Structure 1
Amino acid sequence: MNMNIKPRPVTVGRNWLPAEAVTLDDSWTQKPPRFRAGEPVSRTITIETKGLSGSQIPELAIATPANARLYPETPKQESRTDGKTIYGVRTQTLTYIPGTQGTLNVPAITIDWWDTRRNKAASTILPALQFKVLPGAAGTANEVKAAPRSPAAQQSSATSPANKATQANNERGLPETIFAAIKTNESWLFTGGGLLLILVLLGLMVRRTKQHRQASAPGTVKQTPQPTQQIRPNQKSALRALQKACTANDRHAAARDLLSLGHAHWPDAPPRSLNALAARIENGQTQLRELDRSLYAADTSNWNGAALWDEFRHGLQEKKMTRINQDDGLNPLYPQHH
């Protein structure tokens, strides 16, 4: 077999990310998120790629906002294939703790990559965000000074590719930061907000340790379980809402309810758009494309939800794909040097 291997474009640097598609989404524990001084708020960032495995997605450079602490958890990665293309997913949960009331400016997150379909450079961006920070639950006495960034946060915001030392530093950084926070903020330790903060940080530490042990265990390539007709309770409510939207020919509600259904079906890595949902299911792509087009059409009266409901009335039928273990034999784009 002869293969034609194209050279690396001269316009890109040593570290580049060639893919057919790259999407970047985020979600918050609250919608919209509400910030109070000294209280944690979690954000999950999801990167999805077409043409790369999960292990080939590099670590994000995430900057810590001013007057706040940032605690990144250990990222999760997953790879799937439909027999033709490989798909990668990388999710990372971040916990923000603002130090004082006022304004919290969350910096933008950018992924620079190379579009192999159009043969040109591209960028995917999560825009910068600004939030109002309210006083702590126990008043201004609950507010804490923003401590120096933990080793985990410094590792996450580094612009160089991730290395194996990052995970070890993350595991050491969180408990050290907890004790530093206790030592420097004894006045608020026994307030309601202070106790809540300590409990949340301890929970994050336990969760991170558990994830590290699971990720370190040897695994094998395994098949994704075949989709079943059994519908989970949280999917039933999403289906009822979808039926109502389709009956009323409400295209915006139908799109929202389909994504809710996808979230119920894949709670750990939900699809963030109709196109992402279409890539995961066996049937119904035509109806999803028609719905997606109607969302941006000037004439809003032509969409009929009957065909969409007829296709999805029994739930989502997951595409038969092979799930690939994280250690999938593919070399990382950025080799590690020790």
Structure 2
Amino acid sequence: MVRLLLIAWLWLLPFGAQAAAIMAQLDRNPVAVGDPVILTFTADRIVAGDPDFSPLEQDFEIRGRSQSNSLSVVNGVSSITTTWELRLYPRRTGTVPIPPIAFGADQSQALDLQVMDQPPPQANTGNSSDILIELTAEPQQPYVQQQTVITQRMLHITPLQPQASLSHPEVEVGKGNIQQLGKTRNTTLMRNGRNYQVIERRYALTPQQSGTLTLGRTTFDGIIDDKNNNEFDPFGMSGKRIRRFSEPLTLQVQGQPASYTGKQWLPANSLTLNAHWQTPADKLKAGEPVTLTLAIVADGLAAEQLPKLDIQAPAGIKAYTDQPELRNDPGSNGVVGVRQEKWVVVAPYNGEYTFPGLSIDWWNTATGKQETTTLDPVKLVVTGGQAAPAAANTTTAAKPKQADPAIPPPATTSDTPEAAGWFAWFSWDWYATALLIIWGALSVGWLLWHFWKKAQITPKQSAKTAYVPVSVRPPDAKTVWQRLEQACKQNQPQAAHDALLQWMEVGLHLRPALLANLREQAPPALQIEIDALNAVLYGRSSGGWRGASLWQALQGFKLSNGQTAVKTSELASLYPD
């Protein structure tokens, strides 16, 4: 054994006797930003140590690496060659230096790589005209707090493989809130005589301050079919991995016009006020509560931006309200915000009352002018009760008029002996006390009967009585979590995707409820499963997806406060939800 080791050492001795010559080569130069470039290091002898590729990470993203060795004997002379291959993605354009790489005491030579904005014109596969990423805005010069619709499109002619993702736009300069509107759409578009497949997303952007607002460029990362490429792929990919970027989108946000005089700045496409009386206003009954529903509907504003309605009820009328209902509905031009307030109105006495009108000032973004939306005053007619006492209409009671001793008082029926005998014991205080006792007895009796009746109702009957249609009642977190579990166990990717979005909204209260936001906060295991779900949905194939791993990753993920969570991601599926 010792003899064999000595022979091997003597055989390798010529390779270590001198420093290894390490050659660095690029498979192409120039290259487009977003496209990969293969950097190859070749050593003709045994190197002094392992390579240190960390200097490359400043200007490149390293997405794959491999190493191979080859031994050859020519005319009795042995030679050994070691090759390292790296797949690099440039992080910027221009002349990007590739510094010398240390292999222990040995070192490679330096190179320069030219990185362009778009692929070279001669590149037919993955040409910039075959894959385009676009960001557009409407309007391009919005007012502060005005909703702006951002449209993101990916146009492609080259077939794509399922492993693809498209990042969401984010605010890089300025301040603003952005959230996706609806679901991803697949359409077609004819441009320059070529028929493109289009993947489209729409977002609602609300600028929070005037000045310049810039959305950073969005990134497409995927693999395109490359059937003409017969070269060996050391990274095990059946196609060609590419990246494409949109151009950054810059908006000039206008401030609130100086001519605006409203109490609250409300820039919208349209704004309306609606009122609905549960009972017609001219047919109210004294002492009976009636519900007045008021709603503000604003096209181009979120419900959270709409003002509270301030109602000053007339004298003799009681009105109070509870928490408002806020709702954001998708519209043709973005979000339609709805603020709904329910008021309970009670008129204790008969009579006619004038319920005040309402008005809201807002800025019409279509015409560039201030407008006012109003509700006219409403005449209330109340019957079926008693007339309002004089004291109810004055702040202090009027003093009784002193009788003139020179004028005898008028005769009344109570002056007769019969009347005097009947009313001698009667007084209004006694009458009120009797009514109070009767009312209390009836109330106690009704409560006893109610509790007795409730105790007789079976749980099944109680559930049946309290039933609310599912179409009206939103799902709770427990129901959504059960749906997600069922979809994962039955290996249904689309159902799992929909249930996961619902869970983020009702279970975690994440806004917006996007897989991109979940992946951004998720641990590596959950990120892998989200990417696998995205890939299956985008590939329009669910045969290879297994939901057990996703369900396990969700089970093991906890928020800091101890609640089970599924957080959100940068890269989202391109397949329409």
User: TM-score per shorter chain, which class?
Assistant: 0.3 to 0.5
TM-score by length of structure 2 reads 0.25
State the structure with more CA Rg.
2
Higher helix share: 1
**TM-score when normalising by structure 1:** 0.42
RCO comparison, higher one (Cα < 8 Å, 6+): 1
